[in-house]
C-alpha cells in the first residue's frame, strides 16, 4: 500500500472512530424518549436517572421537620412526585398546628415547645417488579411525650402504581387468616423477651392479638428477586401501654400466604415451605 493511499485512509478511519465513540447526552435521550410512539413516561424516566436521595430538614423555634427518601424512590418520577407532595402536606399541617399552639401558649402564659415531625423512608427491598419502602415517624405535638408511628409503600413497576402490601392479597381477612397463628405467637415471644406477660383479663384492651392487616406491613426479599419475608410494625398503644414501646414482628412468606395472593402477584412470592 502506497504512502498516498495510507494518507487518504487514515483521516477517514479517525472520523469513523470519532463518530462511533461519540456518546449521546441526557438531552438526546430525553428527546428520543419524547417522540410520538415512544413508551409512556419514558422522558420522565430518563430525566430521573441518577437522581440523588432526598433529605429535607428544617429546625427553628416553631418546628423541627425532617423528611427523607432514598435514591431508588427519587429515580421513579411519579413516586418522587407523590413523596414530595406528602412532604409538603405534612409540613404545612405541622406548621399550622404549631402556630395555633404557640398563639394559645402566649395567651395562656404557659411555655411553648417546638412541634416536630421526623419521617425517614428506607428501602426494604428492590426487586425487578417492586420497590418496597418502610417509614418510621417520630412526632411531638406539645403533649407529655412524643409518638412513634410507621408507614409503608410498595411501588409496582408493572402497573406504575403505589400499593399497600395488603393489596397483594385477595382480602385483608384472607391475609389475616394465613398469618394469624404465627403472628400472635411471635407477639407473645416478643413480649416475653421484654419480660412482659399478656394480661389474662378478657376485658383488657391489650389481651387480644390484633389483625395483622390493621398494622403496618413491610414486605422484603432475601434474594432481590422474590418476596419471601415480611415485618409487621406495631406502634405504641396497639398491643400494650406506651411504656412497652413499639414492636417489629418478623414473619416468613409461607405457602398458606401465597395461596391467598391475588393471581397477578402470586408469582412474585417465594414461600419458605
37 belongs to a structural domain:
no
Asked if residue 172 and residue 143 are part of one domain, the reply reads no
Range of the domain at 252: 166-266
Residue 168 has pLDDT above 60, yes or no: yes
Nearest to 154 by CA among 130, 135, 123: 130
pLDDT over 70, % of the chain: 80
Residue 32: the pLDDT is 47
Residue 84: the pLDDT is 98
* DSSP H or E run through 124: strand 115-126
* Residues 205, 238: Cα–Cα separation, whole Å: 9
Tell me the C-alpha to C-alpha distance, in Å, between residue 91 and each of 46, 62, 87, 96, 116.
29, 12, 6, 9, 9
Asked if residue 177 and residue 147 are part of one domain, the reply reads no
Residue 268 has pLDDT above 70, yes or no: yes
Asked if residue 132 and residue 84 are part of one domain, the reply reads yes
Residue 238 has pLDDT above 90, yes or no: yes
Asked if residue 99 and residue 48 are part of one domain, the reply reads yes
* Residues 26, 45: Cα–Cα separation, whole Å: 11
Per-residue pLDDT tens digits for 136-148? 999 999 878 899 9
Residue 257: the pLDDT is 97
Per-residue pLDDT tens digits for 50-91? 799 999 999 999 999 999 999 999 999 999 999 999 999 999
The CATH number linked to 247 is 3.90.640
Asked if residue 228 and residue 206 are part of one domain, the reply reads yes
Residue 3 has pLDDT above 80, yes or no: no
More confident residue, 6 or 177: 177
Per-residue pLDDT tens digits for 104-130? 998 887 889 999 999 999 999 999 999
Residue 19: the pLDDT is 42
Mean pLDDT for the chain overall? 86
Residue 200 has pLDDT above 90, yes or no: no
6 belongs to a structural domain:
no
Write down which residue in 163, 186, 220 finishes a domain.
163
Tell me the C-alpha to C-alpha distance, in Å, between residue 82 and each of 26, 49, 61, 145, 153.
24, 17, 28, 30, 11
Asked if residue 154 and residue 81 are part of one domain, the reply reads yes
Asked if residue 193 and residue 143 are part of one domain, the reply reads no
Per-residue pLDDT tens digits for 13-48? 444 444 444 565 655 554 544 454 544 555 455 555
More confident residue, 199 or 161: 161
The CATH number linked to 53 is 3.30.565.40
pLDDT band at 207 (very low <50, low <70, confident <90, very high): confident
Amino acid at each position: 500500500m502506497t504512502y498516498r493511499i495510507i494518507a487518504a485512509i487514515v483521516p477517514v478511519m479517525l472520523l469513523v472512530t470519532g463518530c462511533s465513540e461519540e456518546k449521546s447526552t441526557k438531552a438526546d435521550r430525553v428527546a428520543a424518549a419524547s417522540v410520538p410512539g415512544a413508551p409512556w413516561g419514558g422522558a420522565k424516566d430518563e430525566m430521573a436517572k441518577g437522581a440523588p436521595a432526598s433529605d429535607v430538614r428544617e429546625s427553628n423555634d416553631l418546628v423541627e421537620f425532617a423528611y427523607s427518601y432514598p435514591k431508588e424512590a427519587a429515580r421513579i418520577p411519579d413516586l418522587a412526585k407523590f413523596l414530595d407532595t406528602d412532604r409538603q402536606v405534612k409540613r404545612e399541617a405541622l406548621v399550622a398546628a404549631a402556630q395555633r399552639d404557640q398563639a394559645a401558649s402566649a395567651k395562656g402564659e404557659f411555655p411553648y415547645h417546638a412541634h416536630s415531625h421526623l419521617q425517614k423512608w428506607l428501602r426494604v427491598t428492590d426487586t425487578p417488579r417492586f420497590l418496597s419502602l418502610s417509614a418510621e415517624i417520630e412526632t411531638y405535638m406539645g403533649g407529655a411525650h412524643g409518638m412513634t408511628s410507621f408507614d409503608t409503600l410498595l411501588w409496582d413497576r408493572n402497573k406504575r402504581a403505589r400499593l399497600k402490601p395488603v393489596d397483594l392479597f385477595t382480602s385483608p381477612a384472607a391475609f389475616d387468616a394465613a398469618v394469624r397463628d404465627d403472628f400472635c405467637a411471635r407477639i407473645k415471644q416478643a413480649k416475653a423477651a421484654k419480660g412482659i406477660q399478656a394480661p389474662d383479663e378478657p376485658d383488657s384492651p391489650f389481651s387480644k392479638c390484633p389483625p395483622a392487616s390493621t398494622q403496618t406491613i413491610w414486605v422484603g426479599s432475601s434474594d432481590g428477586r422474590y418476596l419471601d419475608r415480611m415485618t409487621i410494625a406495631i406502634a405504641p398503644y396497639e398491643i400494650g401501654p406506651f411504656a412497652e414501646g413499639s414492636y417489629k414482628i418478623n414473619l416468613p412468606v409461607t405457602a398458606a400466604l401465597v395461596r391467598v395472593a391475588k393471581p397477578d402477584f402470586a408469582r412474585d412470592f417465594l414461600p419458605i415451605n
